[in-house]
């Protein structure tokens, strides 16, 4: 077996590393608003709005025109393809607006899940074929990183070896293509909340998934200092009767990450996965307080846990925009504090703080 490989050019290494480090700057995290049109359609329907390009743009405009104070806690946003080309009512490209606010734009590049043949209801993610061209185009537009999610389901027989290996390969191939085009890859192996398994099972599955993923990233010569990872927190399944405290979740999560994520990776940007806003903040806070080694930054890349209150207060009405923006700023601040281990339970109240954001087989 030959082991020939080469590293990316030093300038490219430097660029990727700088971007990755800027995204996980102290006290900051990512706002994930990369819901595909189908996913945001459900949110729009819940407040009685049609799933039109205009309504999707109105909602994202609300987020991006929030006061610049947002950038004290939000370093980056993950966009969906359509959003990259959208503008404010005044005609400013969202991307320009974000850059002016010192928020780094990124892009979801996976094209959603498809079934794995002969598996027990497992999936993989598609979108590799034209990925290099798409990455080059997004880079030209001003994006500096990309995200790709591949979920794993826990049941008696899953995740299977097939699903784990496929997740690792597809994420490694995606990461290497991203880096070749100057985008920082955020690899997202998402062990889902669905199921009634306990926290120990989630921990072991997460460890196995991380081990497979980093083997594959190494096999594909991915430059780890120029990557980030967006994993699940280690929690019991949604249906498990034994609920764990944030401290127990923190120990299980950091232990699994220590066993699987190399110290060369600058940051771990956790997903919220259906937790309520306050739960996601408290768990992140506990993760940052736990007395274990932490060689990487541990922060957030939340979708639902940053937006549930925004949706509730906005309700599709222009007169509610300013109030809804305040909800976003409050949750960003709460999570920014949690990323430093400085959040106090209940210290920042928001409109939907305790509402569970879980839905089975959630689609972005």
Give catalytic status of residue 100 as yes or no.
Answer: no
Question: Mask 169-208, x = binds ligand 13P (CB under 6 A)?
Answer: -------------------x--------------------
- Judged by CB under 6 A, the chain residues 259 through 298 that form the site for ligand 13P are 271-273
> 137: helix, coil or strand?
helix
List the one residue from 16, 19, 29, 34 that touches ligand 13P (CB under 6 A). Answer: 34
- Distance between CA atoms of residues 131 and 151, nearest Å: 19
Sign of CA dihedral 59, 64, 66, 71: positive
- Centre a 10 Å sphere on the Cβ of residue 210 and count the other Cβ atoms it contains: 22
- Site of tokens 């839905």: 359
Closest separation between CB of residue 2 and ligand 13P, Å? 37
Is residue 29 within 8 A of residue 299, CB to CB? The reply is: yes
Tokens of 88: 């404010």
> 99: helix, coil or strand?
helix
Is residue 177 within 8 A of residue 131, CB to CB? The reply is: yes
Catalytic residue among 122, 188, 279, 327: 188
* 8 binds ligand 13P, rule: CB under 6 A: no
Give catalytic status of residue 90 as yes or no.
Answer: no
> 228: helix, coil or strand?
strand
Closest separation between CB of residue 273 and ligand 13P, Å? 4
List the one residue from 43, 44, 78, 95 that touches ligand 13P (CB under 6 A). Answer: 78
- Distance between CA atoms of residues 309 and 311, nearest Å: 5
| Closest CB to ligand 13P among residues 35, 166 | 35
List the one residue from 303, 313, 327, 348 that touches ligand 13P (CB under 6 A). Answer: 303
Q: Which of 353, 349, 321 is nearest to 88 (CA)?
A: 321
Nearest-CB residue for ligand 13P:
303
* 305 binds ligand 13P, rule: CB under 6 A: yes
Catalytic residue among 28, 108, 230, 333: 230
Summarize as ranges the residues that interact with ligand 13P (CB under 6 A).
32, 34, 78, 147, 149, 188, 271-273, 302-305, 364
Tell me the catalytic residues.
188, 230
């Amino acid at each position: 077996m030959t082991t020939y490989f080469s590293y990316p050019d030093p300038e490219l290494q430097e660029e990727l590393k700088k971007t990755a480090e800027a995204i996980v700057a102290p006290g900051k995290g990512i706002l994930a608003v990369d819901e595909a049109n189908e996913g945001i359609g459900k949110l729009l329907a819940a407040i009685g709005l049609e799933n039109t390009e205009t309504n999707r743009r109105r909602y994202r405009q609300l987020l991006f025109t929030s006061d610049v104070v947002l950038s004290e806690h939000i370093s980056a946003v993950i966009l969906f393809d359509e959003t990259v080309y959208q503008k404010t009512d005044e005609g400013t490209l969202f991307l320009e607006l974000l850059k002016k606010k010192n928020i780094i734009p990124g892009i979801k590049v996976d094209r959603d899940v498809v079934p794995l043949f002969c598996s027990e209801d497992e999936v993989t993610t598609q979108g590799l074929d034209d990925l290099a061209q798409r990455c080059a185009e997004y880079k030209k537009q001003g994006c500096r990183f990309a995200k790709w999610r591949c979920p794993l389901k826990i049941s008696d027989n899953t995740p299977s070896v097939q699903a784990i290996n496929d997740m690792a390969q597809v994420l490694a191939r995606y990461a290497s293509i991203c880096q070749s085009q100057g985008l920082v890859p955020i690899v997202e192996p998402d062990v889902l909340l669905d199921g009634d398994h306990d926290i120990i099972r989630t921990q072991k599955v997460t460890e196995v998934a991380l081990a497979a993923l980093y083997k594959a990233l190494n096999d594909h010569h991915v430059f780890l200092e120029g990557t980030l990872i967006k994993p699940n927190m280690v929690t019991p399944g949604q249906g498990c009767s034994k609920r764990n405290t944030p401290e127990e979740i923190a120990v299980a999560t950091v232990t699994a990450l220590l066993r699987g994520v190399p110290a060369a990776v600058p940051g771990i940007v956790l997903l919220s996965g259906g937790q309520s806003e306050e739960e996601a903040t408290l768990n992140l806070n506990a993760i940052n307080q736990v007395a274990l080694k932490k060689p990487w930054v541990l922060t957030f890349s939340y979708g639902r846990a940053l937006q549930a209150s925004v949706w509730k207060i906005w309700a599709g009405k222009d007169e509610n925009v300013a109030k809804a923006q305040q909800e976003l700023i409050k949750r960003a601040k709460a999570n920014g504090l949690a990323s430093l281990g400085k959040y106090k339970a209940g210290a920042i109240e928001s409109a939907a703080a305790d509402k569970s954001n879980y839905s089975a087989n959630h689609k972005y």
